[in-house]
Structure 1
Amino acid sequence: MQDINRTTLTPASFILNGIPGLEDMHGWISIPFCSMYVVAMVGNCGLIYLIYYEDTLHRPMYYFLIMLSLSDIFICTTTLPNAFCIFWFNLKVINFNACLAQMFFVYTFTIVESGVLVLMALDHYVAICYPLRYTTIFTNSIIFKAGIVNLFRGMMLVFPILVFIKQLPYCHGNTISHTYCDHMTVAKVSCGNIKINAVYGAMIVILIGSFDIICITVSYTMILQAVVSLSSADAQQKAFGTCTAHIGAIVFSYAPAFFSFLTHRFGSHTISLSVHVIVSNLYLILPPTMNPIVYGMKTRQIRVCFKTLFRTKG
């Protein structure tokens, strides 16, 4: 094994092999991922600029959208450039500490994104069910504090993972069959007991996923009840249109993530490793790609401001 400290059995670096079994197709596989990454970066940066530029978008809903876009940018930028180095230049070596840093940012901002979706669901609930109290509930101070608490939640939950990974002995080698430092993929390279890694990882996914999804489900159940009771058809259509964009973002965020989690732990013998790696990359790049498209198409005020901005620039 290369670069091993014989005292601690901690490698100086890992070797990321990319997508196992499809090494000859890395160049072709990189095309759709690169296209999605460009769309994600342009879309999210454009959305942040638009909200900052347009005074009419300086509202709580759009501040949460900025948080979502920032999370998306951090998630895909932490992993995709590293994958492109593997696909295009065969640069597979990643420093051990850089691997831990990548793991920290990926999982922290994945949890942050889930929390932002909950905050956006609560924002829609208050806006539709308690419109007269909306501005007093979602003040700038409350929004800032909610963002900080959400970020702190992600950091505190992910930090133990780094401790567990750092304490493992790596006497089986330092080669990882992945495009980035996935928690359980790295742990499985170890020759130590990884039960605590598996249990803690599953606990985070189940507790955070269940809590956030329950909050979102309850919010939208109450929203639908309020929308149905609206007498105006135009008001119902506007409320449904606003909620549809958010529900679409939720589907794009949670579906690939849960599929990756379940296949990693229960489908390792039935689903090939290459499929798992591809899905693991998709759940990191798909939400950042689709979120600005979904919100741009479904949110009328963003469409109007986007057209106005281009007319002004023209």
Structure 2
Amino acid sequence: MAVTPQPNSTFLHPTFVILTGIPGLAGAQSWLTMVFGPMFLLALLGNGALLAVLQIDPMLHQPMFLLLATLAVTDLGLSTSKAPGLLAVLWLGPQPVSHAVLVQMFIVHALTAMESGVLLAMACERAVAVGRPLHYPILITKARVGYAALALALKAVAIVVPFPLLVARFEHFRARTTGHAYCAHMAVVKLGVGNTRANNLYGLVLSLAVSGIDKLGMTGSYGLIAHAVLRRPTWEAHAKAFGTCSSHICVILAFYVPGLFSYLTHRFGHHPIPKPVHILLSNIYLLLPPALNPLIYGARTKQIRDRLLETLTFKKIQF
């Protein structure tokens, strides 16, 4: 049932929302910039360097590396849409966000959905490479990678568009201040006066259906990889195949483990889990993967590592 707005305590279409950062940590928030600041810098430099290496070396213009470039672009967008505002709130205190509230909400959630889809595509690509190597050049082509990236982007936009639309339908808001560091969907919904059942239901369905399908697809892909690897005759073959996939598994764990824990504590752990932990985990969830992804792939992928060393040392490295 809708709640009747009270003129003295609600606002009609507020022109801004004040982000207060991490509640309960007002005295220590500035120190958190020493954690999130380097993470943001690492995300910018790491993904930027990764894209530069992939661009300048024609030998890396292959489907696997094109998917990696798509992931790097997504990580750059996710970190730059989130981190500057977060650092401003942590260092300078509560900051007003104007009409860009719905825009930031859309961008953050769309890029998160995009990253999940790219990780699924990378898992499927590795499954074909390990399980069907002879069919790989036919099944996985640069054109199909481009179509897949476009489809993932359109899917992310389509499933996230209802978020700002469902929030925009609220005519009154009970407050202009939210205890969060960015314009998360549920954080803004809690400010609205009215029936929030549709917002809660859609958020739950989206998390369980879309994200759940991606996780099932990744699990199935790596199950096929494990099955194909265990059928190989030598331990050397096992180690090589698992080595090519270990970096992907590390990236998936870095993306989903903090996100899953943050989601579960947000939905089911309101009382035992302090609110600062909720907010802190949600920020780590969005900034940790963009910072770690280039390090993991740069360290685990020989072609990228060698090409980067060649660029830095101005020496020719034979692949």
State the TM bucket, normalised to the shorter chain.
over 0.9
Q: Can you list the C-alpha shifts for 1:147-182, whole angstroms capped at 9, x where unaligned?
A: 010000000000011110111233311111001001
Match of 2:229 in 1: 227
CA distance in 2, matches of 1:137, 1:164: 40
- For residue 210 of structure 2, the aligned residue among 205, 208, 211 is 208
Counterpart of 1:162, as a letter, is: P
Counterpart of 2:243 (choices 233, 241, 245) is 241
Contact 1:51 1:57 in 2 (8 A): yes
Shift of 1:293: 1.0
Q: Is 2:64–2:122's contact at 8 Å kept on the other side of the alignment? A: yes
Kindly provide the amino acid, as one letter, of the partner of residue 55 in structure 2: Y
Give the Cα–Cα distance (whole angstroms) in 1 for the partners of residues 11 and 166 of structure 2. 14
CA-to-aligned-CA distance 1:57-93 (integer Å, 9 cap, x gap): 1111110001111111111111110011112233610
1:232 shift after superposition? 3.9
Greater alpha carbon shift after TM alignment, 16-25 vs 85-94? 85-94
Aligned position for 2:3: none
Kindly indicate whether residue 40 of structure 2 is the aligned counterpart of residue 40 of structure 1: no
Q: Secondary structure at the match of 1:191?
A: coil
Q: Percent identity?
A: 36
2:137 alignment counterpart: 135
Deviations 1:263-313 (A, max 9, x none): 111111221111111101000001001111111112222222222222327
Residue 124 of structure 1 corresponds to: 126
User: Match for residue 192 of structure 2?
Assistant: 190
Distance 1:217 1:304, change over 3 A: same
Q: Which has the higher helix share?
A: 1
- Among 277, 280, 283, which residue is 2:282 paired with? 280
Residue aligning to 1:173: 175
Listed as ranges, the matches of 1:70-81 within 5 Å are 70-81=73-84
Query: Structure 2 matches for 1:45-124, cutoff 5 A?
Result: 45-90=48-93, 92-95=95-98, 97-124=99-126
Q: Could you list the per-position Cα deviations for residues 30-82 of structure 1 after superposition, in whole angstroms to 9, with x for gaps in the alignment?
A: 11100111111111111111111112211111100011111111111111100
The letter for the 2-side match of 1:290 is L
Deviations 1:198-254 (A, max 9, x none): 110011110112101111111111111111112243332221111110000000011
Distance 1:26 1:271 in 2: 19
Q: 1:42 to 1:295 in 2, by over 3 A?
A: same
> Structure 1: how far apart are the matches of 2:10 and 2:192?
15
Alpha-carbon distance in structure 2 between the residues aligned to 1:17 and 1:89: 10
Distance 2:165 2:173 in 1: 18
SS at match of 2:252: helix
Distance in 1 separating the partners of 2:41 and 2:300: 21
Given the two structures, how large is their TM-score scaled by the length of structure 1? 0.94
Of 241, 256, 259 in structure 1, the residue corresponding to residue 258 of structure 2 is 256
Query: How far apart are the structure 2 equivalents of 1:73 and 1:273?
Result: 28
Whole-angstrom CA distance in 2 between matches of 1:171 and 1:296? 46
Structure 2 portions without partners, runs of 5+: 1-6
Q: Distance in 2 between matches of 1:170 and 1:257?
A: 31
Which moved further from structure 2: 13-22 or 296-305?
Answer: 296-305
Instruction: Measure the CA separation in 1 of the matches of 2:24 and 2:127.
Output: 47
SS in 2 for 1:290: helix
Q: Give the equivalent residue in structure 1 for 2:13.
A: 10
Secondary structure (helix, strand or coil) at the match of 1:11 reads coil
Q: In 2 relative to 1, CA 52–191 (structure 1 residues): closer, same or farther, beyond 3 Å?
A: same
Shift in Å, 1:188: 0.7
Q: Within 1, Cα distance between the matches of 2:74 and 2:112?
A: 7
Read off the aligned partner of 2:47 and give its amino acid letter.
N
Unaligned residue ranges in structure 1 (runs of 5+): none
The answer to whether the 8 Å contact 2:39/2:287 transfers is yes
**Residue 241 of structure 1 contacts residue 299 of structure 1 at CA under 8 Å; is this kept in 2?**
no
Moved more, 82-91 or 64-73: 82-91
The equivalent position to 1:164 in structure 2, one of 160, 163, 166, is: 166
Helix, strand or coil for the counterpart of 1:221? helix
Q: How many angstroms does 1:187 deviate by? A: 0.4
1:301 paired residue number = 303
